[in-house]
């Protein structure tokens, strides 16, 4: 599967415990893969002057497929079915797959799709175009 990058982005609000948010992210990706990833935290000012940190993680090279398989493999059958049925909306014109995971559930070690706020955003870049990407993701999710 020609996946090229996996980006994780999560917002850490001033009212949140930064260590817990980082722990939630660590619960998504196997430790050996996360150790090799590029990581950064930037601080911005929110609308009301409050600090908002953005944690970004980029995985590239041969470990992207392993990270993606780990994420998809830990989703419930219902979430996999939901993803499969919504791939048309989740995969953009470049073939990038967009997944939103519950930050609170990730802290507990569970990967659950979540379409509201307070999420960990995962984007998987794919080489080969949108149609081929959708077909590959369907196969990974058990629908191809």
Q: Which domains does the chain have, with CATH numbers?
A: 3-140 (3.30.1440.10)
Task: Give how far Cα 107 sits from Cα of 18, 66, 102, 135, Å.
Answer: 12, 21, 9, 31
Phi-psi region of 133 (alpha: psi -120 to 50; beta: other; left: phi over 0): alpha
> What's the pLDDT score for residue 1?
58
Task: Give how far Cα 87 sits from Cα of 19, 37, 96, 108, 116, Å.
Answer: 32, 26, 10, 26, 18
Give every CB contact of residue 15 below 8 A, 6+ residues apart in sequence. none
Asked whether the beta carbons of 58 and 6 are under 8 A apart, the reply is yes
Mean pLDDT by 10 residues, the chain (144 residues): 89 94 94 94 92 96 91 94 95 95 96 93 92 91 69
The pTM (predicted TM-score) of the whole model is: 0.92
Asked whether the beta carbons of 120 and 26 are under 8 A apart, the reply is no
> What's the pLDDT score for residue 117?
83
């Amino acid at each position: 599967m020609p996946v090229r990058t996996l980006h994780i982005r999560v917002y850490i609000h001033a009212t949140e415990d930064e260590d817990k948010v980082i722990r939630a992210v660590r619960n998504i990706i196997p430790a050996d893969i996360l150790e090799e990833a590029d990581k950064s935290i930037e601080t911005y000012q929110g609308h009301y002057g409050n600090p908002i940190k953005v944690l970004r993680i980029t995985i590239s090279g041969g470990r992207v497929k392993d990270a993606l398989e780990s994420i998809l493999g830990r989703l419930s059958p219902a979430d996999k079915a939901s993803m499969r049925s919504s791939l048309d909306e989740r995969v953009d014109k470049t073939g990038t797959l967009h997944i939103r995971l519950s930050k609170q559930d990730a802290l507990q070690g569970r990967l659950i799709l979540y379409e509201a706020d307070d999420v960990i955003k995962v984007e998987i870049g794919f080489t080969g175009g949108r149609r081929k990407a959708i077909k590959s993701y369907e196969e990974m999710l058990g629908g191809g």
